[in-house]
């Protein structure tokens, strides 16, 4: 009995001795696979993060709010009226330029209709990429070309210029400025809310004050 027990015990020990290295090899290989998978996952995550960062450089930044700008030219007879948007050349801090497509109102009907056109022009203000205007001639002036005047001089004599701009970037209030004639020292100024009817009415009031040189 003792011998039989010892022989079976010895066989079991020999069997365990033969299988233990196999278990250790399997465990080692499993650890290697896990480490390799973790490395691959980490590499994929790093590549994805890098692509997101690179892609963010190509996103269009949210446009910065700017004060709205527009110029209104009213003939001394009351018609036509030319409304044109002004843009910032080269960003919010750039000089102002008129849009290439003014709106001409040949027969102004009422202040509300006029104010609606002006408000649309104001809201169209943008900060444009910088452009070179050195080669432009005075006769390329968009408002002048739309007026039908024979010369720039006649245009400046026949039309009263009103400039409108937002009091700030919020554009909750607009400032209207008018000059009776070119380079006049007298300037008529008023403030108005963003109601189209109010804008149209106040523009006509400023025009009349400039026309008659009376406030």
What proportion of the chain, given as a percentage, has pLDDT over 90? 52
How far apart are alpha carbons 140 and 125 in whole angstroms?
A: 20
Q: Say if residue 81's pLDDT is above 90.
A: yes
Provide the 3-class DSSP secondary structure of residue 193: strand
The whole-number pLDDT of residue 1 equals 47
- Average pLDDT value for residue range 107-130: 92
pLDDT tens-digit series, residues 99-112: 999 999 998 889 99
- With a CB cutoff of 8 Å and minimum separation 6, the contacts of 89 are 95, 96, 97, 128, 130, 131, 133
pTM score, two decimals?
0.68
- 28-40: b (≥16 Cβ within 10 Å) or e: eeeeeeeeeeeee
Q: Band of the pLDDT at 53, cuts 50, 70, 90?
A: low
Average pLDDT over residues 182-211: 93
The tens digit of pLDDT for each residue in 167-176 reads: 988 999 999 9
Per-residue pLDDT tens digits for 133-142:
888 888 999 9
């Amino acid at each position: 009995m003792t011998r039989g027990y010892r022989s079976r015990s010895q066989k079991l020990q020999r069997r365990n001795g033969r299988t233990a290295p196999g278990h250790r090899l399997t465990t080692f290989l499993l650890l290697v696979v896990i480490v390799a998978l973790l490395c691959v996952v980490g590499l994929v995550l790093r590549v994805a993060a890098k692509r997101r960062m690179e892609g963010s450089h190509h996103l269009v930044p949210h446009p910065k709010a700017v004060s709205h700008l527009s110029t209104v030219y009213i003939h001394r007879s009351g018609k036509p009226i030319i409304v044109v948007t002004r843009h910032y050349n080269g960003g919010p801090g750039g000089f102002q330029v008129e849009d290439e497509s003014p709106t001409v109102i040949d027969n102004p009907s009422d202040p509300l209709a006029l104010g609606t056109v002006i408000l649309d022009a104001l809201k169209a203000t943008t900060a444009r990429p910088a452009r070179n205007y050195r080669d432009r001639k005075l006769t390329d002036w968009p408002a002048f070309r739309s007026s039908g005047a024979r010369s720039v001089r006649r245009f400046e004599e026949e039309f009263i210029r009103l400039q409108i701009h937002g009091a700030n970037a919020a554009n909750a209030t607009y400032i209207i400025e008018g000059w009776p004639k070119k380079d006049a020292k007298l300037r008529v100024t008023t403030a108005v809310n963003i109601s189209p009817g109010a804008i149209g009415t106040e523009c006509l009031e400023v025009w009349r004050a400039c026309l008659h040189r009376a406030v």
